[in-house]
Amino acid sequence: MSQRNRVVVTGIGLRSPIGATPRELVDALQNNRTGVVKMPQWDAVENMRCRVAGVCPENTVDASRIGREFRRSMGRIAILAALATQDAIADAGLADDFIRSAACGISYGSTAGSSTEMELFLTKFFQTRNTAGLASSSYLKFMSHTCAANLGILFQCKGPLIASCTACTSGSQGVGFGFEAIREGRATAMLTGGAEENHLINAVVFDIMFATSKNFNDRPEATPRPFDRDRDGLVVGEGAGTLLLEEYEHAKKRGAHIHAEVLGYATNCDGSHLTSPSAEGTAAVMHAALADARVSSAQIGYINAHATATPAGDIAESTAVNRVFGDQTPISGLKGYTGHTLGACGAIESIATILMMNEGFIAPTRNLENPDPKLAPLRHVIGGAREQRFGVGMNNNFAFGGVNTSLIFGRCP
Residues catalogued as catalytic: 168, 306, 340
Q: Which residues have a Cβ under 8 Å from the Cβ of 11 and sit 6 or more positions away?
A: 87, 88, 89, 90, 91, 92, 93, 94, 242, 243, 244, 246, 259
Distance CA 208, CA 214 (A): 12
The vertex-349 CA angle with 347 and 352, nearest 5°, equals 115
Could you tell me the sign of the dihedral formed by the alpha carbons of 54, 212, 242, 154, in that order? Answer: negative
The vertex-115 CA angle with 109 and 118, nearest 5°, equals 120
List b or e across 328-339, with b for residues whose CB sees 16 or more CB atoms inside 10 angstroms.
ebbbbbbbbbbb
Distance CA 349, CA 346 (A): 5
Q: Kindly report the number of other CB atoms within 10 A of residue 53's CB atom.
A: 25
Please provide the DSSP assignment of 343-359 as one string: GGHHHHHHHHHHHHHHH
Rama region for 93: left / alpha / beta (φ>0; ψ in -120 to 50; rest):
left
Name the residue among 398, 180, 377 with its Cα closest to residue 304.
398
Looking from the CA of 51 toward its CB, the CA atoms found within 13 Å total 17
Query: Residues for the chain: how many in total?
Result: 413
Segment holding 108, helix H or strand E: strand 104-110
Q: What is the DSSP letter of 361?
A: E
How far from the centroid of its chain's Cα atoms is residue 35's Cα? Answer: 15
